[in-house]
Amino acid sequence: MGRSVYYITTPIYYPSDNLHIGHAYTTVAADALARYHRLKGEAVWFVTGTDEHGMKIKKRAEEAGVSPQAFVDQIVAFIRDPLWKRLGISYDDFIRTTEPRHYRVVQHLFTRLQEQGDIYKGTYEGWYCLPDETFWPESKLVNGNCPDCGRPVERVRQESYFFRLSRYQERMRRYILDHPEFIQPVSRRNEMLGFLEGGLEDLSISRTGLGWGIPVPGDPEHVIYVWFDALANYLTAAGYLSDPERFARTWPANLHLVGKEIVRFHTIIWPIMLMALDLPLPERVFGHGWLLIGETKMSKSRGNAVDPLALIDRYGVDAVRYYLLREVPFGADGSYTEEALILRTNVDLANDLGNLLHRTVAMVQRFADGIVPAPGSGPRPLAEACAEATRAWEAAMDRLNLSDALSAANGLVRVANRFIEDEQPWALARRDRDRLGTVLHDLAETLRVLSVLLTPFLLEAPGRLRAQLGLDAPVSAMGEAAFGTTLVGRTVRPGPPLFPRIDPAAEGAPPAPTSDEAALDIADFRRVDLRVATVRAASVVEGADRLLRLTVFDGERERTIVSGIRAHYRPEELIGRQVVLVANLKPAVLRGIRSEGMLLAGSAGGELALVTVDRPLPDGAKVQ
């Protein structure tokens, strides 16, 4: 027998409409976790699929004027390709409840539970919520509507088979109390314990007159209730009945990932089905929050659904996956906005990560002939930062806190960008080649480590990042996150920006809101006294490798300015140049020299250039 398998599932979705980014959210999260466990070298069984029976589907097919099977076939085909394909969902099995392998399982379960007295025939009288495919007793309705979604319910009275939930109520409550890990996050666990307090009624698990579903064995007038049918998918996809050996390795599931509105089905009805069958219960059920539009849940029926493919077309798959998993702490509700997606991509990916790569590769190119040097002397803060970020990242992944994991990776990017500012490799290039080797190497190595941490989340960027570092193979194991020296001697290959900045205006999206505090009044700006001045003298400041001492004439007098531009200009090349001076800055003493103002300069990616005027102007001319 092989080793045991990490079995992770998403809900199986109703193919009643095209899916939206709410469905993509769960599926991308499960995909990232599946990829993470594969990286750790575990055998993974990652399953998603479609829940194709039920009244809702039947009605939608009637509206479309096609048979239910033809209706779902076409939507399911679309979900598999292009939807999940373009989102990079790496499922191992896609289960459809209309498949023969699943019919067999569901009918088998039904018969067995019936034989042992857990299923009996009676009459159901109560209410049904069509969009949720849920039965409700009168006592649970809220203002006559579905207590879950608030939509109207319809009266149902018919002969029905019942599943004896009530018999297992106390065992279920004990189980939840004894297994604190079973329902997560803890708020959902408390909700479920509260629900159990109210007592469990036996569940109606068949319908007559529907004609679309799995027939009750021996009583084909009845079809099996869509939730009983759907939950069993987790057994079918693990090989129950069809492949006992695989089933033994795969069951119980390690993680059912679901939206919070279906936690009750997964933590009360489903485990009771399993208890009745004498099968072990899933290790954990995680109920994540909803993507909201404004204050309401995104959903097709509310008409506010966002199409994932349209977003991918606009922003690329990595930006969409990153945004979904980074923006909202996994478990909480969060509002979706396109502006936030753009901002996230621009800040974290284009700016922080993209610049780090660009600067590092450009400096290796420029200062080390394009070859990653061996580390030389001096402290190695990035080695520790990588180890620390990897630890935090793994701990967050294991807690399913995907946004924290991404935030650990982004934190490392920021540390590395700061390291460039602190070490000033362009200055080291002139005076300390040994230290330069350490700095360039450790920056490249940090990027390589980042490519590992980003691999479960992003599909394209890790490979493109590695290509620029001279690596052709994709990340294949978690162990590669160890900080080492594998890059030494590699030739970097500068490439296009990893994430081009998105221009919100060009995308037709409203510009990112600026807070009133951040926005500058014109009067505030005018308080800055900017003037044209000419450099009359320049010299190095002894003992300070970044500083030049300048004498500039501002039209009225000469001033001394100490400026951190030594790595970019030789003193003699500045003499006679016109520059822009901030004339009303409070004087500061730098290295014992009183500096009376500041020169404006632009900087990016380790480059720096002084701001100057387009044609000569009298010294003292105002800049505005």
Instruction: State whether the Cα torsion 597-600-604-605 is positive or negative.
Output: negative
Q: Is 415 in the site for ligand MSP (CB under 6 A)?
A: no
Containing H/E element for 599?
Answer: strand 598-599
Binders of ligand MSP among 294-333, rule CB under 6 A? Answer: 297-299
Q: Is 359 in the site for ligand MSP (CB under 6 A)?
A: no
Containing H/E element for 161?
Answer: strand 154-163
Nearer to ligand MSP, 299 or 451 (CB): 299
Q: Is 56 in the site for ligand MSP (CB under 6 A)?
A: no
Nearer to ligand MSP, 230 or 253 (CB): 230
Q: Is 271 in the site for ligand MSP (CB under 6 A)?
A: no
Q: Is 96 in the site for ligand MSP (CB under 6 A)?
A: no
Interaction mask 215-234, ligand MSP, x per CB under 6 A: ---------------xx-x-
Q: What is the DSSP code (8-state) at residue 15? A: T
Q: What is the smallest separation between the CB atom of 242 and ligand MSP, expressed in angstroms?
A: 19
Q: Is 337 in the site for ligand MSP (CB under 6 A)?
A: no
Q: Is 397 in the site for ligand MSP (CB under 6 A)?
A: no
Q: Which stretch binds ligand MSP (CB under 6 A): 5-13, 32-40, 182-190, 464-472?
A: 5-13
Q: What is the smallest separation between the CB atom of 171 and ligand MSP, expressed in angstroms?
A: 22
Using CB under 6 A, pick the residue from 5, 12, 372, 533 that binds ligand MSP.
Answer: 12
Q: Is 13 in the site for ligand MSP (CB under 6 A)?
A: yes
Using CB under 6 A, pick the residue from 8, 26, 110, 240 that binds ligand MSP.
Answer: 26
- For residue 28, give the nearest of 459, 343, 393, 408 by alpha carbon: 459
Using CB under 6 A, pick the residue from 6, 7, 14, 483 that binds ligand MSP.
Answer: 14
Q: Is 25 in the site for ligand MSP (CB under 6 A)?
A: yes
* AA identity, residue 338: E
Strands (DSSP E) along 217-315, which ranges? 219-224, 255-259, 284-288, 291-293, 296-297
Nearer to ligand MSP, 12 or 562 (CB): 12
What's phi and psi for 572, nearest 5 deg? -65, -30
Q: Is 568 in the site for ligand MSP (CB under 6 A)?
A: no
Q: Which residue pairs, CB below 8 angstroms and at least 24 apart, start in 243-250?
A: 245/1, 248/1, 249/1, 249/2, 249/3, 249/4, 249/5, 249/43, 250/4, 250/5, 250/7, 250/45
Using CB under 6 A, pick the residue from 89, 205, 262, 416 that binds ligand MSP.
Answer: 262
What's phi and psi for 570, nearest 5 deg? -85, 145
- For residue 401, give the nearest of 311, 289, 234 by alpha carbon: 289
Using CB under 6 A, pick the residue from 162, 290, 315, 569 that binds ligand MSP.
Answer: 290
Q: Is 11 in the site for ligand MSP (CB under 6 A)?
A: yes
* Cβ partners under 8 Å of residue 361, min gap 6: 468, 469, 492, 493, 494, 495
If you search the block for the tokens 């690596």, which residue do you land on? 471
Q: Which stretch binds ligand MSP (CB under 6 A): 11-19, 198-206, 351-359, 606-614?
A: 11-19
> Do the beta carbons of residue 624 and residue 613 sit within 8 Å?
no
Instruction: State whether the Cα torsion 285-337-396-466 is positive or negative.
Output: positive
Nearer to ligand MSP, 23 or 249 (CB): 23
Strands across the sheet with 203-204, in order?
134-136, 119-129, 154-163, 203-204
Beta strand pairing status for 119-129 and 154-163? antiparallel
Using CB under 6 A, pick the residue from 268, 269, 274, 291 that binds ligand MSP.
Answer: 291
Q: What is the smallest separation between the CB atom of 304 and ligand MSP, expressed in angstroms?
A: 9
Contacts with ligand MSP by CB under 6 A: the residue count is: 21
* Cβ partners under 8 Å of residue 70, min gap 6: 61
Residues that bind ligand MSP (CB under 6 A): 11-14, 22-23, 25-26, 51, 230-231, 233, 258-259, 261-262, 290-291, 297-299
